[in-house]
Amino acid sequence: MLREHHMQGLFVPVVTPFLPSGELDLASFDRMVHQLLTHDIQGIVLNGTTGESPTVAWEEVTTLMQAMAAMMRRGTAREADADQRRVPIIVGIGTNDTRASVRRAEMAGSMGADAVLVVTPYYSRPSQEGIVAHYEQIAKVGVPVIAYEIPSRTGVRIDVSTMRRILDIDGIIGLKDSTGSTDFVSALSAGGNSKPVLCGEDRLFHAMLCQSASGGMLASAHVETDSFLDVYRLAAEGQYRESLSAFQRLLPLIELLFRESNPAPIKWLLKQQGLLASDTLRLPMTPITAGLQAELGQLLAKGEYVGK
């Protein structure tokens, strides 16, 4: 299982590939994940925001977990898999129903998840006390929990003092910070936070590393994975200027990948790279506009972003 000291480096929240019919595309899933496993990433996240969790049934999450387990078992069985590694699997299980989230955490644990990603309860806008109680109940399951704060999607914002209480809960191993600025991670650091924080805002990756973040959980790291790893490695070595230079090269790509709703741009790009057979999304998500396709195509045509 994932522990606090494992919460460093680059984690990739993967897209959920669909066939044009809308069903799971396991062949594309296998191809995409296998490619990611050739890089020095520290974990893969299933059923997160990037994985279109609101429209993926739990039975389908189970199917994806089984596919991941089969892939890990293959490991180095084939010569082509010689570079493939076993990495932790994190499953998004958070809902705005505490009992349902507890049940999902139990099922994720029984399927072999190394940790669960638990978003702040959304829509119902609970009190700070209610949010703490929500995390306490899920942590009791015994599967390591990564708290996930993303107020732009949940409609409620956790106070810094409340987050400190959440991070003090036994079984909570860290935080994915998608608050939209470096203020939260800075405040936690200033208060002596002892648990790791992963950057969840791709455009703030370097800035958060400079503010004590231990790594990133970044959707755009599906592509140019090694370049994102360079940003982290240089910062971890204290070479912040060099890390910034490496990150600035990635910014035009990041900006376009989040110009329209995630994960539509990433799916389009992965299709262009031959990793996905289709960029199909489930409604209400829709494919990217022709204008963004043209902009991404122009960026790719420059030859600056050709790595996977």
Per residue of the chain (308 residues), give pLDDT as tens: 999 999 999 999 999 999 999 999 999 999 999 999 999 999 999 999 999 999 999 999 999 999 998 888 776 444 444 456 789 999 999 999 999 999 999 999 999 999 999 999 999 999 999 999 999 999 999 999 999 999 999 999 999 999 999 999 999 999 999 999 999 999 999 977 779 999 999 999 999 999 999 999 999 999 999 999 999 999 999 999 999 999 999 999 999 999 999 999 999 999 999 999 999 999 999 999 999 999 999 988 877 665 55
The runs of H, that is alpha helices, within the chain are 26-36, 58-74, 98-110, 128-139, 151-154, 160-167, 183-190, 205-209, 225-236, 240-257, 264-272, 290-301
Q: Which two tokens stand for residue 196?
A: 């790791």
- Could you confirm whether 148 is annotated as catalytic? yes
Residue corresponding to tokens 């995630």? 262
Distance CA 150, CA 178 (A): 5
pLDDT per residue over 222-242, tens digit each? 999 999 999 999 999 999 999
| Residue tagged active-site, from 148, 195, 232, 305 | 148
Cβ atoms of 113 and 89 closer than 8 Å: yes
Tell me how long the chain is. 308
| Residue tagged active-site, from 135, 176, 267, 305 | 176
Handedness of CA 16, 22, 27, 32 (dihedral sign): negative
Q: What structural domains and CATH numbers belong to the chain?
A: 4-301 (3.20.20.70)
CB under 8 Å to 276, separation ≥6 — which residues?
15, 17, 25, 28, 31, 32, 267, 270
User: Coil, strand, or helix at residue 6?
Assistant: helix
**Cα–Cα–Cα angle for 145, 146, 148, nearest 5°?**
130
Cβ atoms of 269 and 293 closer than 8 Å: no
Residue corresponding to tokens 């982290």? 232
Cis preceding-peptide flag for 263 (omega within 30 of 0): yes
**Integer angstrom CA distances of residue 181 from 54, 93, 184:** 25, 25, 7
Handedness of CA 24, 26, 30, 32 (dihedral sign): negative
- Could you confirm whether 176 is annotated as catalytic? yes
pLDDT per residue over 106-163, tens digit each? 999 999 999 999 999 999 999 999 999 999 999 999 999 999 999 999 999 999 999 9
Amino acid at site 220 = S
Q: Which two tokens stand for residue 22?
A: 């809308």
H/E stretch holding 46 reads: strand 43-46
Q: Within 10 Å of residue 190's Cβ, how many Cβ atoms?
A: 11
Cβ atoms of 139 and 169 closer than 8 Å: yes
Distance CA 109, CA 106 (A): 5
Cβ atoms of 47 and 65 closer than 8 Å: no
